[in-house]
Structure 1
Amino acid sequence: MRWFISALVVLALVGGLWWVEQRQQAELTPDPATDLPSEPEDPQPRYPLPKPELHPAPAIEDQVADDTEGRTEEPIEPESEPRPPLPELADSDESATGALSDSLGNDFVDKWIKPEFVISRTVAVVNNLDGSAPALKTWPLRPLGSEPITQQRGNGDTLLWTAANAERYTELVDALDALPPEQAADLYARYYPLFQQAWEELGENEPYFNDRLIDVIDHLLATPEVALPFEVVPYESRLHFADEALQKETWGRKLLMRMGAAQAGMAKEWLRNFRNAVVEATDPPAP
């Protein structure tokens, strides 16, 4: 699977300050039972996934003879092989890359997927897609390996980001398109406890990673359609959009725009179907 896939300390400090203030009020108040505010309820997930079975189901033993009937019942066969338990997050790379290889093929995974910290890197990059670009070392994917294709525009510094750049993303988009979104959603749900653990270790304010994922996908689906070619200008070691409004867009949206309308359209359609499959698998919110 192509998992296209930032710590906050302020909230903890504010929470600690609130606790100290409440403690001081309790010491000065004669009847704390009536004066202290009630404990805030934990926020409920907006898109809660069903909890997967983390341990293999017990083997179904053959039925013994029924003495009262004087007969032996047929053994009950399990409907499917039980899934093995999930590994620890720190030991999950082999399992995660193996699952990706089953879906996308060994050659694709060997070429594109970094084999270390797969889940943690995916979580970190998802969290950045509606913000600024993360450092390359945090990406779960290897770089494209080809330079952008540009043409000179007039006599100034302006260049054209040409339509030929769409081909640089073809292999990745085709692999994504070949993976059924429902299958990807099932794999995601299977490994969700590890995604959630990686998210909690990241230390962000949003408590539930699946909520964050849905928000990011919705953000990407609203990416404006930009036709190739478009103008870019050199800035330090990068190429920026000449259109200031486009340059102010988030990293994830700019990634889709650089693919061209056709490739971006395929990616967005897959994301839309994947989102729907994930949402359909969620439990109803707690009352």
Structure 2
Amino acid sequence: MNKNPLKSLDYDLLDHVFDMGGGYVLDFSNKTFSEFFFDELGIDIDNAHYCDIGNSKANRLRSYLRQASREDVLKVLGALWEYREVKRKRAGVKEGNPQYIAEFWQLIRRLGGTPPKHRAENDNAAPCEKMDDRIANDLLGKLMEVSNLDPQPRGYAFEKFLKELFDACGLSGRASFRLVGEQIDGSFEMVGETYLLEAKWTNQQVDASDLRAFNAKVEGKASWSRGLFISNSGFTEDGLLAFGSGKRLICMDGLDLSEILLGRLSFQNALSKKVRRAAETGRPFVRVRDLH
């Protein structure tokens, strides 16, 4: 049996950090709590093994932590922290308990984990408005080169272009970009949020079936993930209408990319504005030139 790495006072601290009063854990419902543990951590938190002190979400979490190894405790606490921070930042809520957070990271260090680098000064800062002229010109030239290529080499060149664009903008990649046919898959992180990426460079505009297929991928991942669909040829009006509103997808076309580079706009800033407009209107695609 694993020796419990947590002390009694540690559980009291976790109650404060993860809002475990009244048997709750953060804003999870029973369904999303189970899905989070299974999808993100491969843990069946509903197993009777973890209901020995009660069936509430908080009691199941406490039971798991008491039985888990130090490595698994770190893994679960890290995943819960990431979920907490994404939800807090997305809601625009300032940290209300800094003393508890400092103690939490002391606990992580004691368990052998590594707290993230301190970035508090950037947590609520808006992305910079402008892209460096030299970088923008270089990327714009490469985008023009991609457009002149034949279909097969064009797909790989577009993949390379997007990787360079994301690297230049300081986005944290969570997975390598991968070309499948004419479609590029990948993911990146921006301001603590994970975005799944799907990109296409074809002669045809993307229709509702492509949007629905990608949306299904996004909905099959963590509840805080978003999707960014980049289609150089754009999206059909009928497809966008049929796809509907209120989804977790943001759409971007080739004209948007050109507008960003020609205007020396920050990619993060343009994407943040698209996200805000989608939240306001429910529409996944609003052109960069129409964002104010």
Classify the TM-score, shorter chain.
under 0.3
Q: Output the TM-score relative to the length of structure 1.
A: 0.23
TM-score (norm 2): 0.22
Higher fraction of strand: 2
| Structure with the greater alpha carbon radius of gyration | 1
